[in-house]
Amino acid sequence: MNLHCVRRGSAGPGARRSMQSVLGAAAVLALVAGCGTGRTSDSAASVGDWKAPKAVSDALKKEGEVQVILHDNSSSSVQAQLYAAVLRAFGGNVKIATVNDYPSTFAILSKAKNQVDPEMWTGSAPDLVKKYIKDDKTVDMFEVSDVDKTAAEGWYVPTYVIKGDPARGIKPSCPGLPDWHALNKCVNVFKTPDSGGKGRYLSGAKSWEPAYGDNERIKSLKLNYKVAFAGSEAALQAEWTRAEEQGKPILALMWSPHYLTAKYNLTKIKFPPYTPDCWGPGKSYACDWGPLNIDKLTSRNFRGHYPAAAQVLDNYNLDGKQLGEMMTQMVDSGKTADQVVADWMKKNPSVWQAWSKGADK
């Protein structure tokens, strides 16, 4: 991937995707215009001797270049690389642009006509959805894929904390979970040398905290806990992996789809049900996360300008299990997203080749 493209660093779906842009829309667009991808040019070679229907290939070639937005995290990387590779296998002309913060993404989509974002956590950006999709109508939303049905985010623990793991000799250490009321009964389970005698809840980067309201949640629910920060998504992932490998308790932020929720058995803490009145600046955050919709977004009237590419986007569909397997392979094998996508396409030709249906117009 082109590291000179617009890049802010990884973060969690809620916080990282609602950070304010440092660049103005014009500056972002100028940068994205020069963004391509370093590793997708040979992805189409993975399809072997298979050839797309000529009518589909002709339609995509006639439409011209489509630019696919990739957010620098594992799930978006897989989805963007897969949609791009499939379009290329069908005969399309595709480039990838890395754009990490959500305000810039919506601004870019609203100014261009050939942009696609296969994975946008719109539930984390209601203000942007209202502005660009509902009010201004400068960004279009496509039907969600099956990944959306399993999207989740919140406070998690390893399931062995609740149920134990006899095969590993691990006994339950907080069997009252996932009910949040059990947290104060298990402070000693989650406290660390630097948590001041309180239980530790581990988040990612400190800059994420305003979007998650963890300190407000702790205060409102009278939890005897302290928020700590791993520093980044990678550091948070490392803390999770270390705890899992050692069979130790950990209470920390996580979301799904993600490599960790695909590889390990994690359980989400059940807080009081979400209501709009409890979540947001100046509010209590004494509730669970709200709906985490994952949508496909495009530039305005993408369907009119690029009907064949739009039809492929309509057909494009991964479920949480498929996406999770590819993310796990990325981490465990050290392969890049486009390499994992090429492997998946070789093993699942009937799945992605069916996405060409109707794209011959």
Same domain, 60 and 145: yes
Q: Tell me, what CATH number does 60's domain have?
A: 3.40.190.10
SS percent in the chain: helix, strand, coil, step 5:
45, 15, 35
Q: Quote the number of domains for the chain.
A: 2
* Residue 8 belongs to some domain of the structure: no
* Residue 115 belongs to some domain of the structure: yes
Same domain, 143 and 168: no
Q: What is the distance between the alpha carbons of residues 354 and 357, in angstroms, rounded to a whole number?
A: 6
Q: Quick check: 158 and 244 in contact, CB under 8 A? A: yes
pLDDT tens, N- to C-terminus, the chain (361 residues): 222 233 233 344 544 444 333 334 444 444 444 444 334 333 443 466 788 899 999 999 999 999 999 987 888 899 999 999 999 999 999 999 998 777 789 999 999 999 999 998 887 777 889 999 999 999 999 976 666 566 889 999 999 999 999 999 999 999 999 999 999 999 999 999 999 999 999 999 898 888 889 999 999 999 999 999 999 888 999 999 999 999 999 999 999 888 899 889 999 999 999 998 998 889 999 999 988 888 899 999 999 999 999 999 999 998 888 998 999 899 889 899 999 999 999 999 999 999 999 998 7
Q: Quick check: 71 and 100 in contact, CB under 8 A? A: yes
Same domain, 65 and 165: no
- Provide the 8-state DSSP code for 293: -
Q: Tell me, what CATH number does 223's domain have?
A: 3.40.190.100
* Residue 262 belongs to some domain of the structure: yes
* Residue 70 belongs to some domain of the structure: yes
Sign of CA dihedral 266, 272, 274, 277: negative
* Residue 282 belongs to some domain of the structure: no
Closest CA to 124 of 19, 8, 253: 19
13: cis peptide before it, omega within 30°? Answer: no
Give all strands of the β-sheet with 115-121 in edge-to-edge order.
93-98, 65-70, 115-121, 294-299, 139-142
To which residue do tokens 């369907």 refer? Answer: 303
Q: What is the distance between the alpha carbons of residues 306 and 90, in angstroms, rounded to a whole number?
A: 14
* Residue 83 belongs to some domain of the structure: yes
Q: Quick check: 302 and 113 in contact, CB under 8 A? A: yes
Same domain, 120 and 40: yes
Same domain, 25 and 128: yes
The residue range of the domain holding 253 is: 152-268
Q: What is the distance between the alpha carbons of residues 122 and 144, in angstroms, rounded to a whole number?
A: 11
Q: What is the pTM of this model?
A: 0.78
* Residue 361 belongs to some domain of the structure: no
Q: What is the distance between the alpha carbons of residues 22 and 28, in angstroms, rounded to a whole number?
A: 9
Q: Which residues contact 304 (CB under 8 A, 6 or more apart)?
A: none
